[in-house]
């Protein structure tokens, strides 16, 4: 069972890196322009000014770097498939873009519901990137629904701990 959980974490590692890199990139003054170009829908921002091209760039970069590293780690015994046989550019793109897209869709819905950026929306804040990454990556490497469901549960448990750690070391303002 532990091997199964480790394999799921390994599978979604580039997506998690994309999700974190997009958030942590706020400290870099580069491409700080909103993804939604400041457009509104029903008098509310589509995504908000905090979803930026910078986050997309660094999220994809982190996903590609992790995917490349995964492809080179052919000794990982519990992987669900042979990483040395995949195109790391495509794998990283799908996982990274899926994570960012999932986060953007969640932000769009939060804005429609009147939930301000940075305010918690449990459990969707924890699982949006996993769902987006799992759906997009499954077009390249089959990811079964049971694996995606377990990954969502793991993200729901692990994500708050990571956020709290980032809060403690002053990388983010909110605890969760």
Residue 114 falls within a domain, yes or no?
Answer: yes
Q: What is the pLDDT of residue 74?
A: 63
Determine if the pTM surpasses 0.95.
no
Q: What residue has token string 């799908």? A: 94
Number of structural domains in the chain? 1
Q: Is 145 exposed, middle or buried (0-12, 13-18, 19+ CB in 10 A)?
A: exposed
Q: Is 41 helix (H, G, I), strand (E, B) or coil?
A: strand
Q: What is the pLDDT of residue 97?
A: 98
> Does residue 14 have a cis bond before it (omega within 30 degrees)?
no
Residue 21 falls within a domain, yes or no?
Answer: yes
The residues pairing with 52 across neighbouring beta strands, listed in sequence order, are: 34
The residues pairing with 40 across neighbouring beta strands, listed in sequence order, are: 45
* CA dihedral sign of residues 21, 24, 29, 35: positive
Q: Which helix (H) or strand (E) holds 163?
A: helix 145-168
Residue 64 falls within a domain, yes or no?
Answer: yes
Which structural domain, as residue segments, surrounds residue 91? Answer: 2-168
Residue 173 falls within a domain, yes or no?
Answer: no
Q: What is the pLDDT of residue 101?
A: 97
Say how many C-beta atoms besides its own lie within 10 A of residue 116's C-beta: 8
- Averages of pLDDT over runs of 10 residues in the chain (176 residues) are 89 95 88 93 90 96 94 75 88 97 96 88 92 96 94 90 83 72
For the chain, how big is the Rg over CA atoms in Å? 16
Residue 93 falls within a domain, yes or no?
Answer: yes
Backbone angles phi, psi at 40, to 5 degrees: -120, 160
Q: Which tokens sit at 5?
A: 């959980």
Residue 175 falls within a domain, yes or no?
Answer: no
The residues pairing with 124 across neighbouring beta strands, listed in sequence order, are: none
Crossing angle between the packed helical segments 2-24 and 88-113, to the nearest 10 degrees? 70
Q: What is the pLDDT of residue 170?
A: 82
Q: What is the pLDDT of residue 176?
A: 64
Residue 37 falls within a domain, yes or no?
Answer: yes
Residue 81 falls within a domain, yes or no?
Answer: yes
Within 73-144, where are the H helices?
Answer: 88-113, 124-137
């Amino acid at each position: 069972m532990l091997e199964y959980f480790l394999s799921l974490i390994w599978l979604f590692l580039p997506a998690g890196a994309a999700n974190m890199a997009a958030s942590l990139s706020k400290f870099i003054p580069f491409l700080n322009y909103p993804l939604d170009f400041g457009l509104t829908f029903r008098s509310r921002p589509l995504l908000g000014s905090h979803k930026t091209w910078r986050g997309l760039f660094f999220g994809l970069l982190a996903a590609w770097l992790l995917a490349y590293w995964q492809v080179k780690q052919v000794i990982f015994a519990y992987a669900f498939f042979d990483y040395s046989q995949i195109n790391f550019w495509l794998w990283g793109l799908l996982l990274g873009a899926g994570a960012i897209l999932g986060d953007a869709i969640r932000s769009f819905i939060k804005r429609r519901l009147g939930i301000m950026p940075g305010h918690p929306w449990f459990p969707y804040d924890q699982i949006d990137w996993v769902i987006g990454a799992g759906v997009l990556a499954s077009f390249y490497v089959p990811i079964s629904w049971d694996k995606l469901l377990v990954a969502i549960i793991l993200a729901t448990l692990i994500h708050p701990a990571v956020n709290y750690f980032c809060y403690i070391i002053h990388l983010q303002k909110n605890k969760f």
